[in-house]
Chains A and B, each alone.
Chain A
């Protein structure tokens, strides 16, 4: 067993856990931060992605003892007070989250991208999220939601095409 203090979303979590347990297990089971999900526990789906010192990390492959003292961010820490983060707003409003199970991992990877790149294009977003699987949406809305959030963050009033809210006008 290992005893340590983890810094998660700025809060200190004193935890005791089996030394071989991953960050995913410690976050969910010891910190009770169940917002971080698991879809495979083998690094294949991206659902468990969190940020460690700002970098996206698959928490299911991350040995916890290696991140003691580092700054860990999870989906629970994304909002500002009671206000949603722009990514959270656009994912909710554009239908980029359906079942919502892959969403926390995708939000964290997207947040890392937006911290690096204020105005990412489709290719950058696709490349950044290529390790995340979503079975509900068909992905395109996620790309648009990230672009919309980036615009909101920049203070730009760009928004996705109206077709994404109402469908494409039937050709005459």
Chain B
């Protein structure tokens, strides 16, 4: 089923088996020209006359009550036009309905160094900056929590009073199948502790927002956001004006990677100030402030216990995780579930117990970063598989092949798997890297490592409970032959505009240049939930396909009457419409539109997409479902200097099951970019903190909130990459497409750890793998100790009574067997999918809705 995308474009042009017009061909992205000429308008490039500039006063202490805010010196400065404090915007907001714990500006309490206390608006940015420095804030310090361990030991004072327990924001325990019996059946049980450090997205564009007041009570906000719809909702909450009078326009994002998918307080601040001052208001964060906005990768500790049979198959697994959440909820409840949800999607796991706890700490809030919550447990899993392979004497690639999940099955935790090209992925990287001849046989210091992964192609449920489409597309076409496509999707660099355009152009058989896009504008475009959870290609693609097919059908009907040929016989390709049997009888596309416009009047169609319902019915089942999953496998080759622990990644082979590459050159860019970002996390990136010495207040501060000192890979650090795209042609995706933007990051960190082991026999069970950790392992090895570096233990946490869910194999029905909060079955109506969906959503509405 899988096949190589190996034909050069000129051969693809004629009669491939699918006969696509554009799909599968490498073409210049639709925003390509604007991006290389400097014409793309990012949020900070938006400028209006009389703009007022805002600076935020940020907390200098990690946890304190605000005693007093003295704005007088700031207000007395020439050029200062106004200020704003938290009391003026008392309504809270937050991305997840279960954790709306943020305010536009702090009310009473600050929770981390960098938390926003007040805003100052002035005629220039320089004056605003000086005025912000002149604001005097008096704090009454509170105890500070720096880690999960401290959060466990310090239940009071609570950072937020809605936490599950003390300063533990959220606790989860989900047990699928006979976990203990599974371990009894196992021949080998491995239990390991792992740690995965937090990291920042480091998108090159700093967050920026511009608000413009219009009429009396209307406001437009231009912003660097991945999710204009969610910003729209948050502004509705905080501004206290009807949502119909708020317009959010998502500008092209200068990189995002999950870091611009929360609604942010600064967006609310500029909107409020624009309404207050009656002038355009702009804020652009400094790089240091971006590190305080954060929402990056959660630092996660893991304890993973897996029972293997002699043949390498798995009998049972118990995964425990803790997340250091920082000071707000953000997407954290979803992140918590994601540290366990996708563990079952690659290899057959009949029995699985997942426990997790997310702590509040006095640090910038963590949230979703590329791979959202899943790279951490994937690292643990794939490193442990490598250890198991060695214990059992099975080749690590072979061990994985023996365990593969079957397509079109349901996992122990009730996720429905679609197509799976993981075998083809493993085969490709094994053959490409010469694995069989080289693994375990390279000279000392040189090694290979393998790892695999899976990722969602869009979260199955929206973030807030509703049964409206996750994505909508509107098409307007007229006698000019131009086709205007309206969609709320957001271009963040991943190529979503090109996906939208290519799908419409494919259906209508027209040149991509004859399409005009209007995207990411809450007033003008139908809602799309945003560029997160790798959902755009599939969901926007399907909505666009439906809208375009409806347009094509309308045109077909009119043209068929006009030409007196059956509508089904009409072919749309090359900018023409013609009967299949008589191509010469054809007409130009715009002539066909004229016939349709004459017949039906003004032409417009819509399309929308709602993911299929997932079979899981237990509380927590909302996180993890996806229309289909992408798969990746990677082999890394490293060279380690045994004297210093310094290492180089020389080569990466990556294979990705993409379903179908709509535009291979853009798809490859997503795969390579994911590999790059994975390498950054594996080798060097860390959002880390330190306490200042006592004489400097013992404050908890970011170690290095600058791009120079926050290490990320540069040109010199990049290995050679070989990318294989495996096409499984999944019927759930548009033209068979799955995601590519997140999945290929996941296997990189474990593959590096496994390669280092092959090179020098040292296990590093944590990332980033700094050379000094490798050196430490080498020293241990040389002195006869265990050649392992990593956490020694896992915190002692009571995760509470697990929800018991019988697996499909056990004949379960997808519900928890012991859930006191579960709704009575008799009230449930089984008629109509919307109603069913409605019930399912209500059932686990407490904490289960999902994201990225």
Interface of A with B (CB < 8 Å)? 18, 28, 32-42, 44-45, 47, 74-76, 78-79, 84, 87-89, 91-95, 97-104, 107, 125-126, 129-130, 132-143, 162-172
Contact = CB atoms under 8 A, between A and B. Distances in A.
B204 A47 contact: yes
Given A133-B714, A140-B720, 18 more contacts: A39-B254, A39-B707, A74-B38, A75-B36, A76-B37, A88-B36, A92-B33, A97-B32, A135-B712, A143-B715, A162-B8, A163-B723, A165-B9, A165-B668, A170-B4, A170-B427, A170-B655, A172-B431
A37 B42 CA distance: 9
A138 to B, nearest CB: 3
Interface in B714-745: 714-716, 718, 720-726
A100 B493 contact: yes
Q: Is the interface of A mostly helix, strand, loop or mixed?
A: loop
A64 to B, nearest CB: 14
Which residue among A103, A137, A166 has the maximum number of chain B CB atoms within 10 Å of its CB? A166
Which residue among B6, B8, B47 has the maximum number of chain A CB atoms within 10 Å of its CB? B6
A164 to B, nearest CB: 7
Contacts of A92: 28-29, 32-33, 35-36
Contacts of B389: none
A37 B203 CA distance: 13
Nearest 3 pairs of A and B residues by beta carbon: A35-B38, A99-B493, A101-B254
16 contacts: A18-B126, A35-B38, A38-B206, A92-B32, A107-B36, A126-B715, A132-B715, A135-B712, A138-B672, A139-B713, A139-B714, A139-B718, A166-B5, A166-B7, A168-B723, A170-B2
A140 B5 contact: no
Nearest to A95: B669
Contacts of B424: 170
Given A99-B255, A167-B5, A167-B664, A137 B672 contact: yes
B469 interface: no
A134 B255 CA distance: 9
A141 B672 contact: yes
B202 A135 contact: yes
Given A34-B45, A100-B31, A135-B255, A167 B661 contact: yes
Contacts of A79: 37
A165 B206 CA distance: 31
A140 B286 contact: no
Interface string B1-34: 0111111110000000000000000101101111
A101 B432 contact: no
Contact of B665 (A34, A42, A164): A164
A45 B205 CA distance: 10
Which residue among A33, A40, A42, A79 has the maximum number of chain B CB atoms within 10 Å of its CB? A40
A39 B676 contact: no
Contacts of A126: 715-716
Contacts of B202: 133, 135
Contacts, number: 217
A33 B45 CA distance: 9
B808 to A, nearest CB: 32
B5 A101 contact: no
Contacts of B45: 28, 34
Interface of B: 2-9, 26, 28-29, 31-42, 44-45, 47, 126, 201-206, 252-257, 286-287, 424, 427-428, 431-432, 492-495, 655, 661, 664-669, 672-673, 675-677, 706-708, 712-716, 718, 720-726
A168 B665 CA distance: 12
Which residue among B494, B668, B675 has the maximum number of chain A CB atoms within 10 Å of its CB? B668
B255 A88 contact: no
Nearest to B495: A98
A166 B669 contact: no
B718 A138 contact: yes
Contacts of A99: 35, 203-205, 252-256, 492-493
B708 A165 contact: no
A171 B204 contact: no
B431 A97 contact: no
A100 B205 CA distance: 10
A169 B723 CA distance: 9
Contact of B35 (A41, A103, A141, A142): A103
A160 to B, nearest CB: 10
Contact of A37 (B31, B205, B708, B722): B205
Contacts of A171: 427-428, 431-432
B123 to A, nearest CB: 12
Contacts of A88: 33, 36-37
B706 A44 contact: yes
B6 A169 contact: yes
A76 to B, nearest CB: 5
A138 B255 CA distance: 13
Given A37-B42, A99-B252, A139-B676, A167 B34 contact: no
Contact of B32 (A93, A101, A132, A163): A93
Contacts of B4: 167, 169-170
A133 B32 contact: no
B6 A98 contact: no
A166 B6 contact: yes
Contacts of B47: 32, 34
Given A98-B669, A104-B38, A135-B712, A37 B32 contact: no
Contacts of A94: 665
A43 B6 CA distance: 42
Which residue among A78, A138, A171 has the maximum number of chain B CB atoms within 10 Å of its CB? A138
Nearest to A130: B715
B37 A35 contact: yes
A73 to B, nearest CB: 12
A139 B673 CA distance: 8
A74 B675 CA distance: 31
A59 to B, nearest CB: 13
A100 B716 contact: no
A172 B427 CA distance: 9
B252 A100 contact: yes
A89 to B, nearest CB: 8
Given A167-B4, A167-B724, A102 B204 contact: yes
